Amino acid sequence: MPKIERKWLYLVFAILVIAIIAYLGYNVYQQQTYPTITSIKNKGILVVGTSADFPPFEYVNQSGAIVGLDIDIASEIAKELGVKLVVKDLSFDVLISALQGKQVDLVIAGMTITPERSKVVDFSVPYYNASQAVISLSTQKFLSINDLKNKKVGVQTGTTGESWAEANLVNTSIISNSNLLHYDKLSDALLALKRGDIDAIIIDEPVARMFVRTVSGVQYDFGIYTGEQYGIAVNKDSKDLLNLVNSVVNNMKTNGQLDTLIQKWFGSG
Ligand code: GLN
């Protein structure tokens, strides 16, 4: 082979080797820097855990689909990742363990950012402010916490409403421990209220307002300011995903998309 041709061959070979090394190196770099994002992209789906009993954040609509403000935010995250969104409907109190057990990639469930939860999962930047409220049947009106004296009160297991009721109703002896009834699903608490098993329910204020608009015979009694903020929960070992979620939420906040969605799901009522 003439000398000059061999030189070119070496050059092409060297370029090829460098390209392969660079490609492999880049892949390893990607997997180390973006381990969760890479695995989600490889799966082709983003699995989001929620508890679809919390309108208008997440609920099952008349055609049986899980929809709501949180689901729309989840769709934006899936879009940013370039994957399909899969929503898993679980009871609220198992969501964090499902996240830790990697059955879901994210939890979006009107979940309040609390110090206890922040010990075990990371939260995104907040996307909604909320407090608690009391609802009851329209037949008896409660105006203040003291009106709940010796009443039967329902809460959802594992929620901030449950903790609030334990601290401010049970521990203050306004109601006895056995008068605080715990339900896995808010829909079961509503059924219990309708049946007369309980006198009132303590739930997040925005959801209380939605229930009294959509469930007949149920009224909004009073609000309890707790200054909560909802965040999206991410596994502690998934900082790459947390950063992506934060950038999606921050973008939705600054470009007005989040406000538009809030308007869409809460309407003017
Ligand atoms: N915001 C409340 C909490 O985080 C309730 C959430 C819910 O019931 N989906 O505990």
Res 31: pLDDT: 67
Residue nearest atom 5 in ligand 1 by C-alpha distance: 159
Helix 3-33 × helix 35-43 angle, to 10°: 100
Query: Ligand 1 pocket test: which of 117, 159, 163 has the largest number of ligand atoms within 8 Å of its C-beta?
Result: 159
- Domain match, 134 and 123 both: no
Q: Is the CB of 96 under 6 A from ligand 1?
A: no
- Does ligand 1 come within 6 angstroms of the Cβ of 132? no
> Is residue 180 domain-shared with residue 255, that is, in the same domain?
no
Ligand 1 neighbourhood includes 112 CB (under 6 angstroms): yes
Q: What is the pLDDT of residue 136?
A: 98
Say whether both 67 and 149 belong to one domain. no
150 plus 195 within the same structural domain = yes
Domain with 2 in it: 1-33
Collapse the DSSP code of 229 into the 3-class scheme (helix H, G, I; strand E, B; otherwise coil) and give the result: strand
pLDDT score recorded for residue 118:
98
Return the pLDDT at 7.
87
Same domain, 138 and 212: yes
What pLDDT score does 241 carry? Answer: 97
**How many domains is the chain built from?**
3
Same domain, 142 and 225: yes
pTM: 0.89
pLDDT digits (tens, 9 = 90+) for 17-55: 999 988 888 877 776 777 899 999 999 999 999 999 999
Task: Determine how many CB atoms are found less than 10 A away from the CB of residue 213.
Answer: 15
* Co-location of 116 and 52 in the same domain: yes
Q: Decide: 49 in ligand 1 pocket, CB within 6 A.
A: no
Q: Is the CB of 110 under 6 A from ligand 1?
A: yes
Residues 6+ apart with CB under 8 A from 37: 81, 240, 241, 244
- For 34-87, the DSSP string reads SHHHHHHHHHTEEEEEE-SEETTTEEE-TTS-EESHHHHHHHHHHHHHTSEEEE
Residue ranges of the chain whose pLDDT lies below 70: 1-3, 31, 268-269
| Strand-pair partners of 218 | 137
**pLDDT, position 74:** 98
Q: Is residue 154 helix, strand or coil?
A: strand
| pLDDT reported for residue 2 | 67
**Secondary structure element (H or E) that encloses residue 228, with its range:** strand 218-230
Q: How far, in Å, is the centroid of ligand 1 from the Cα of 161?
A: 7
Pocket test for ligand 1, best of 156, 157, 162 (most atoms within 8 A of CB): 156
What lies within 8 Å, CB to CB, of 102 at 6+ separation is: 235
CB 90 within 8 A of CB 81: no
- Within the chain, where are the H helices? 3-33, 35-43, 69-81, 95-100, 115-120, 160-165, 186-195, 205-214, 239-254, 257-266
My answer on whether 70 and 97 are in the same domain is yes
Q: Say which CATH number the domain at 222 has.
A: 3.40.190.10
Same domain, 218 and 154: yes
Q: Which of 92, 108, 184 to mutate to test the pocket of ligand 1 (most atoms within 8 A of CB)?
A: 92
Q: Is 50 in the pocket of ligand 1 (CB under 6 A)?
A: no
pLDDT of residue 98: 98
Q: Are residues 224 and 245 in the same domain?
A: no
The closest-lying atom of ligand 1 relative to the alpha carbon of residue 53 is 9
Phi, psi of 250 (to 5 degrees): -60, -40
Q: Do residues 88 and 138 both lie within one domain? A: no
Q: Domain check: are 53 and 122 in the same one?
A: yes
What's residue 267's pLDDT? 87
- Pair type for strands 122-123 and 218-230: unpaired
